[in-house]
Amino acid sequence: MAACGLGILLQEQGDTDGARAAYQHAIDSGHPDHGPTAAYNLGLLLQEQGDADGARAAYQHAIDSGHPDHGPTAAYNLGILLMKWDDTDGAQAAFQHVIDSSQPDHAPKAAVHLGLLLMEQGDTDGVRTSYQRAIDSSQPEESPLAAVHLGLLLSQLNDTDGARTAFQLAIDSGHPDHAPKAAVHLGLLLDEQGDPAGAQAAYQHAIDSGQPDHAPAAAFSLGVLLMEQGDPAGAQAAFQHAIDSDRPEESPIAAFSLGVLLMEQGDADSALAAFQHAIDSGHPDYAPAAAYHLNLLLQEQENMDDTRETCPQVVATVDPNSMEGLEGDIASGPA
């Protein structure tokens, strides 16, 4: 224990060479606890120094020791390291070692990572098994994360019932990040299935969470849904929520969509402001689209001003509702 403790002390003091020597001394002692601990610590140190081969050897020593804690922890770190090396087979073996150990902290993490690796290989059965293993662990971080991943997989496989169950499990976990993400995806799924009420409830759940990434995404999707459902006031509020988030993706598209909606309603001034917001965002897609619509709207206003100057009494009696066809043409311009 003295050598391992000395290694930790020297590492904290910045003497990495001394720390490596101390850790190696503890490893060479063959002590059943201190040796694996030192091997794991040495692996971390070498990984931080960019010595991947040395870290791999140190982690493998801890794994081979069979230590119930440091062995699985080292295997998990080794799996992450091998993923960065694109050693898929080695990473899978390392993660499987952790899973088989049933170590309560790292086995669920390894199951999630193994699922991601198997997904890249198209092994959907293996992916489902791995994610389910993480879900069944009830680990507060990895279980809902795996549920979201499983829901996305099942959605791709057109297993809508399974996907709904997985997303709902993540939502019910109350996790501050994974639950709102699951709610967004559940809303999208329910919308596709023709359940607007269920979709709206799911989106609202994500919005109410206030999660900085997923709440704005839910607000935009809710705005689109409400616009399709003929609720322009609700759509405006939802789009405005997404705009106010200042998220680099959701805010510009929501501003552009709000501009189109307001243009359709004949509120030119508010539409111009919404389009300007999208333009100012500099978004590569929605800023140019907003600029196009803004220019069309300005041109239309100029034409109206010219008409007022030549026929003021006639224009003053024009029913705004008679311009719906014109506004529809503007709104249907290329986006």
Helix H, strand E, coil C: the string for 41-53 is: HHHHHHHHCCCHH
Query: Do residues 173 and 269 share a domain?
Result: no
**Does 6 share its domain with 81?**
yes
283: left (phi over 0), alpha (psi -120 to 50) or beta: beta
| 122 torsion bin: left (phi>0), alpha (psi -120 to 50), beta (else) | left
Is 188 among the domain residues?
yes
Determine, yes or no, domain membership for 123. Answer: no
Same domain flag for 238 and 285: yes
- Sorting pLDDT into bands at 50, 70 and 90, what band is 159? very high
- Residue 120 within any structural domain of the chain: no
Q: Specify the CATH number for the domain of residue 245.
A: 1.25.40.10
What value does the mean pLDDT take over residues 264-270?
Answer: 95
| Token pair in block for residue 165 | 């169950």
Domain contains 117: no
Q: Which of 23-37, 69-83, 310-324 has the lowest mean pLDDT?
A: 310-324
Same domain, 137 and 97: no
What distance in Å separates the CA atoms of residue 207 and residue 179, rounded to the nearest whole number? 11
Q: For residue 191, give its domain range.
A: 131-211
User: Does the pLDDT of residue 114 top 80, yes or no?
Assistant: yes
Question: In what helix (H) or strand (E) does residue 220 lie, and over which residues does it extend?
Answer: helix 214-228
Residues 323-332 pLDDT 10s:
233 233 222 2
Domain identity same for 155 and 206: yes
Query: In the chain, pLDDT over 90 holds for what percent of residues?
Result: 87
Sign of CA dihedral 319, 325, 326, 331: positive
Q: Are residues 171 and 239 in the same domain?
A: no
**One-letter identity of residue 164:** R
| Residue 97 and residue 148 in one domain | no
The band of 305, judged by pLDDT with boundaries at 50, 70 and 90, is: low
Mean confidence (pLDDT) of the chain:
90
DSSP 103: -
On whether residue 126 sits in a domain, the answer given is no
Helices (H), 49-177: 52-64, 70-84, 88-101, 106-120, 124-136, 142-156, 160-173
Q: Tell me how far apart the alpha carbons of residues 106 and 96 are, in angstroms, rounded to a whole number.
A: 11
217: Cβ–Cβ under 8 A, 6 or more apart, which residues? 184, 206, 242, 247, 250
In a domain, 313, yes or no: no
Cα–Cα–Cα angle for 208, 210, 149, rounded to 5 degrees: 90
| Model confidence band, residue 304 (pLDDT cutoffs 50, 70, 90) | low
The residue among 211, 238, 273 that closes a domain is 211
Does 40 reside within a domain?
yes
Is the pLDDT at 311 greater than 70, yes or no? no
Q: Tell whether 165 and 221 lie within a shared domain.
A: no
Is residue 186 in some structural domain?
yes
pLDDT in tens, 270-302: 999 999 999 999 999 999 999 999 999 999 887
Both tokens of 319, joined, read 């029913």
**More confident position, 254 or 6:** 254
Domain count of the chain? 3
7-12 average pLDDT score: 91
Q: Are residues 89 and 155 both part of a single domain?
A: no
Q: Is 299 helix (H, G, I), strand (E, B) or coil?
A: helix
Clarify whether residues 12 and 91 are in a common domain. yes
